[in-house]
Amino acid sequence: MAISKETATAQMDYVGEMSAADFCAELRELSETVTRQRAGFDTAGRLPDDLYRRLAAIGLFRLWLPAALGGPELSALDFMDVVEEASALDGAIGWLVSNGGGMGRVGAYLPVDCAREIFADPEAFVVSGTGGVGRAVTAPGGYRVSGRWPFGSGAPHATWFAPVCEVEESGQGTGRMVFVYAPRKDVNLHDNWQVSGLCATGSADFELRDVFVPDRFVHAFQPEPTLPGTLYRLPTGSIFPWTVATVPLGLARGALAEFQRLATRRKRRNDSLPLAERELVQSEVGRIEARLSASRVYLRQAMTDLLDAVETGSDLVPARVRFRLACTFTSEGAFWAIGQLTEIAGAVAIFRSCPLERYERDARAAAKHIAMSPAAYIAGGKLVLGQDLSQTRF
């Protein structure tokens, strides 16, 4: 049943008091609804409106909204728990919770009145765009913005857009990068999200054509927070990867849970034992469990170390490089785990009616994100070998 905006507004009053465990419990309550509606996700290329509203009413798109603005302001590790739970439920939901919930942090970068304007809407969803660079031409009181950005995850439901732009003055680029914030009415969407995985994220291109954006809705690529909190002081190049790095891990956890259900009843041809009772299967599942658990610990420790470095004012380069290593390693491990599970399950795993099929293609799509690029291994190798990292992206 759809939730009215009035009901959603009332529910926002207690979102700020919710814990990670509360959000995870709410997600588990959606299991039957998601199972019932999932068949239409791929053809629609977006979540159903009523499901989106339920997720918004729970507060899942404001996980990092500062407490000073009525948000839950989850810690980085609590955020990871919620994204993992959402991704185990469904890859597209996990992807949107990670992106939308993570963008709640903009409340700590904009003037308070601007942040309140954005998040006054209980269905607020901010889409960022870093896959391209637009133009922000200086104008009296603000900027004239033009550009087109790919991978606008959540674009069909977005209320605001926050792409990255290079500032131009007197017809010349200045090299200064900024984020600009524009409401949905000023943005054009392109219907070009036809993909094999994460289909329901609606990650279409979006475009601004000579849109005026006031100064107060613009901040530096690496912003100076207007509110306290170590989380909000993380480098932009690290906080963006964190929002999506947990999704493959959650997908693998969801696939493992599905395999557990399947293995108790499925048998190989001419085999009297179900998969769950075969020793070779038990051994492989044990290996999968160990690798997923190790990856999770590694990823959490890498983020903890990065936060500690930010808090103490230490050199961030080693911590940032190791963090990106953890993101890539975890993604690869999760994809490997799902692949092993589909291999053991056999031909059943190629049917759209089998949830394992969806977990595998969603994980493949997620792993293509730059946050989990194999290039992280090059930076990691340079760090270990004492090589120059000044020209390396991490």
pLDDT tens digits for range 85-110: 999 999 999 999 999 999 999 999 99
Residue 4 pLDDT > 60: no
In a domain, 170, yes or no: yes
In a domain, 70, yes or no: yes
Largest CA distance in the chain: 78
Judgement on whether residues 311 and 187 belong to the same structural domain of the protein: no
Judgement on whether residues 305 and 187 belong to the same structural domain of the protein: no
Judgement on whether residues 70 and 176 belong to the same structural domain of the protein: no
Residue 293 pLDDT > 60: yes
In a domain, 27, yes or no: yes
In a domain, 229, yes or no: no
Pairing of strands 218-220, 172-180: antiparallel
What is the value of pTM for the model shown? 0.94
Judgement on whether residues 204 and 153 belong to the same structural domain of the protein: yes
Q: How many domains does one find in the chain? A: 3
In a domain, 30, yes or no: yes
Name the residue range of residue 136's domain.
126-220
Judgement on whether residues 265 and 189 belong to the same structural domain of the protein: no
pLDDT averaged over every residue in the chain: 94
133 burial via Cβ count (<10 Å: 0-12, 13-18, 19+): middle
What is the arithmetic mean of pLDDT over 172-191?
Answer: 97
What is the arithmetic mean of pLDDT over 11-31?
Answer: 88
What is the C-alpha end-to-end distance of the chain, expressed in Å? 44
Judgement on whether residues 152 and 83 belong to the same structural domain of the protein: no
How much is the CA Rg of the chain, to the nearest whole Å? 21
Confidence of residue 119 (pLDDT cuts 50, 70, 90): very high
Q: Domain boundary at 169, 197, 220, which?
A: 220
Question: For residue 184, what is the domain's CATH number?
Answer: 2.40.110.10
Give the per-residue pLDDT at 364. 96
In a domain, 189, yes or no: yes
Q: Domain boundary at 89, 119, 149, which?
A: 119
Answer left, alpha or beta for residue 337, where phi above 0 means left and psi between -120 and 50 means alpha.
Answer: alpha
Question: For residue 247, what is the domain's CATH number?
Answer: 1.20.140.10
Give the per-residue pLDDT at 11. 55
Question: Which residues lie below 8 Å from residue 151, measured CB to CB, with a gap of 6+?
Answer: 129, 131, 203, 205
Judgement on whether residues 203 and 259 belong to the same structural domain of the protein: no
What is the arithmetic mean of pLDDT over 361-389?
Answer: 96
In a domain, 295, yes or no: yes
Residue 1 pLDDT > 70: no
* 3 state DSSP class of 30: coil
Q: Domain boundary at 191, 220, 249, which?
A: 220
Judgement on whether residues 114 and 135 belong to the same structural domain of the protein: no
Judgement on whether residues 267 and 354 belong to the same structural domain of the protein: yes
Give the per-residue pLDDT at 39. 87
166 burial via Cβ count (<10 Å: 0-12, 13-18, 19+): middle
Judgement on whether residues 148 and 250 belong to the same structural domain of the protein: no
Residue 265 pLDDT > 90: no
Encode pLDDT of 335-344 as tens digits: 999 999 999 9
Residue 329 pLDDT > 60: yes
Judgement on whether residues 54 and 154 belong to the same structural domain of the protein: no
Helical packing angle, 375-385 and 316-345, nearest 10°: 140
In a domain, 228, yes or no: no
Give the per-residue pLDDT at 5. 55
Question: For residue 88, what is the domain's CATH number?
Answer: 1.10.540.10
Judgement on whether residues 253 and 316 belong to the same structural domain of the protein: yes
Residue 353 has φ and ψ, to the nearest 5°, of -75, -10
